[in-house]
Protein backbone atom coordinates (compact mmCIF):
# COMPACT_ATOMS: atom_id res chain seq x y z
CA UNK A 1 0.00 0.00 0.00
CA UNK A 2 1.34 3.37 -0.99
CA UNK A 3 1.02 6.17 1.54
CA UNK A 4 0.30 9.43 -0.29
CA UNK A 5 2.07 12.27 1.50
CA UNK A 6 1.40 15.91 0.88
CA UNK A 7 3.21 18.92 2.31
CA UNK A 8 1.20 18.52 5.55
CA UNK A 9 1.29 14.71 5.77
CA UNK A 10 -1.29 12.04 4.96
CA UNK A 11 -4.83 10.97 5.75
CA UNK A 12 -4.92 7.17 6.12
CA UNK A 13 -8.22 5.29 6.15
CA UNK A 14 -8.72 2.01 8.01
CA UNK A 15 -11.61 -0.42 8.00
CA UNK A 16 -11.78 -3.54 10.15
CA UNK A 17 -8.13 -3.01 11.07
CA UNK A 18 -6.88 -2.92 7.46
CA UNK A 19 -5.31 0.12 5.79
CA UNK A 20 -7.53 0.72 2.76
CA UNK A 21 -6.67 4.16 1.35
CA UNK A 22 -4.33 7.09 1.75
CA UNK A 23 -4.79 10.71 0.69
CA UNK A 24 -2.28 13.57 0.77
CA UNK A 25 -2.75 16.50 3.13
CA UNK A 26 -1.58 19.93 2.05
CA UNK A 27 -2.42 23.59 2.41
CA UNK A 28 -4.94 23.24 -0.44
CA UNK A 29 -6.24 19.85 0.76
CA UNK A 30 -6.46 19.96 4.57
CA UNK A 31 -8.36 17.30 6.51
CA UNK A 32 -11.27 19.71 6.93
CA UNK A 33 -11.79 19.75 3.15
CA UNK A 34 -11.98 15.96 3.02
CA UNK A 35 -14.33 15.95 6.00
CA UNK A 36 -16.60 18.48 4.29
CA UNK A 37 -16.78 16.21 1.22
CA UNK A 38 -18.10 13.40 3.43
CA UNK A 39 -20.76 15.72 4.88
CA UNK A 40 -21.78 16.89 1.40
CA UNK A 41 -22.07 13.23 0.36
CA UNK A 42 -24.68 12.72 3.11
CA UNK A 43 -26.60 15.88 2.25
CA UNK A 44 -26.57 15.18 -1.48
CA UNK A 45 -27.99 11.71 -0.83
CA UNK A 46 -30.73 13.15 1.39
CA UNK A 47 -31.71 16.18 -0.66
CA UNK A 48 -31.08 15.26 -4.28
CA UNK A 49 -31.73 11.52 -4.12
CA UNK A 50 -34.21 11.53 -1.19
CA UNK A 51 -32.43 8.65 0.60
CA UNK A 52 -33.15 8.38 4.34
CA UNK A 53 -30.38 8.11 6.93
CA UNK A 54 -30.94 4.42 7.74
CA UNK A 55 -30.65 3.41 4.09
CA UNK A 56 -27.56 5.61 3.72
CA UNK A 57 -25.90 3.93 6.72
CA UNK A 58 -26.65 0.49 5.30
CA UNK A 59 -25.37 1.46 1.82
CA UNK A 60 -22.15 3.02 3.14
CA UNK A 61 -21.43 -0.03 5.27
CA UNK A 62 -22.05 -2.45 2.38
CA UNK A 63 -19.75 -0.43 0.12
CA UNK A 64 -17.00 -0.31 2.77
CA UNK A 65 -17.36 -4.07 3.30
CA UNK A 66 -16.95 -4.69 -0.46
CA UNK A 67 -13.83 -2.51 -0.66
CA UNK A 68 -12.46 -4.23 2.46
CA UNK A 69 -12.92 -7.65 0.83
CA UNK A 70 -11.18 -6.49 -2.35
CA UNK A 71 -8.26 -5.13 -0.33
CA UNK A 72 -8.06 -8.24 1.85
CA UNK A 73 -8.01 -10.45 -1.25
CA UNK A 74 -5.33 -8.25 -2.88
CA UNK A 75 -7.64 -7.28 -5.74
CA UNK A 76 -7.29 -3.93 -7.46
CA UNK A 77 -9.33 -0.95 -6.35
CA UNK A 78 -9.99 1.89 -8.79
CA UNK A 79 -9.11 5.44 -7.75
CA UNK A 80 -12.79 6.42 -8.00
CA UNK A 81 -13.63 3.65 -5.55
CA UNK A 82 -10.95 4.91 -3.14
CA UNK A 83 -12.65 8.31 -3.24
CA UNK A 84 -16.09 6.76 -2.70
CA UNK A 85 -14.61 4.79 0.20
CA UNK A 86 -13.35 8.06 1.69
CA UNK A 87 -16.81 9.64 1.41
CA UNK A 88 -18.55 6.53 2.75
CA UNK A 89 -16.21 6.11 5.71
CA UNK A 90 -16.43 9.78 6.67
CA UNK A 91 -20.22 9.64 6.31
CA UNK A 92 -20.38 6.57 8.58
CA UNK A 93 -18.28 8.41 11.15
CA UNK A 94 -20.41 11.56 10.94
CA UNK A 95 -23.66 9.58 11.27
CA UNK A 96 -22.20 7.54 14.17
CA UNK A 97 -22.48 4.31 12.17
CA UNK A 98 -18.93 3.49 13.30
CA UNK A 99 -16.48 4.93 15.81
CA UNK A 100 -13.07 6.31 14.89
CA UNK A 101 -10.98 3.79 16.81
CA UNK A 102 -8.03 1.47 16.19
CA UNK A 103 -10.14 -0.74 13.86
CA UNK A 104 -12.15 1.75 11.81
CA UNK A 105 -11.66 5.35 10.84
CA UNK A 106 -8.80 7.59 9.95
CA UNK A 107 -5.31 8.37 11.12
CA UNK A 108 -3.70 11.69 10.28
CA UNK A 109 0.05 11.41 9.96
CA UNK A 110 1.81 14.79 9.95
CA UNK A 111 4.74 15.35 7.62
CA UNK A 112 7.94 14.02 9.13
CA UNK A 113 10.31 16.82 10.06
CA UNK A 114 13.75 16.45 8.55
Q: What span, in angstroms and rounded, lies between the C-alpha atoms of 89 and 86?
A: 5
Nearest-CA neighbor of 98 among 80, 85, 82?
85
- Structure confidence at residue 111 as a pLDDT band (50, 70, 90): confident
pLDDT, mean of residues 79-103: 94
Q: Global pTM?
A: 0.91
Q: pLDDT averaged over the chain?
A: 93
Q: What span, in angstroms and rounded, lies between the C-alpha atoms of 100 and 109?
A: 15
| SS percent in the chain: helix, strand, coil, step 5 | 45, 20, 35
Per-residue model confidence as pLDDT tens digits over 21-75: 999 999 999 999 999 998 998 998 888 888 899 999 999 999 999 999 999 999 9
Amino acid sequence: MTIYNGSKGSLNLYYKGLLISSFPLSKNKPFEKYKLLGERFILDSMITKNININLQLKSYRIFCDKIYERKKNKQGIRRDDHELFLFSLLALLKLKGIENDNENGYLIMPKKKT
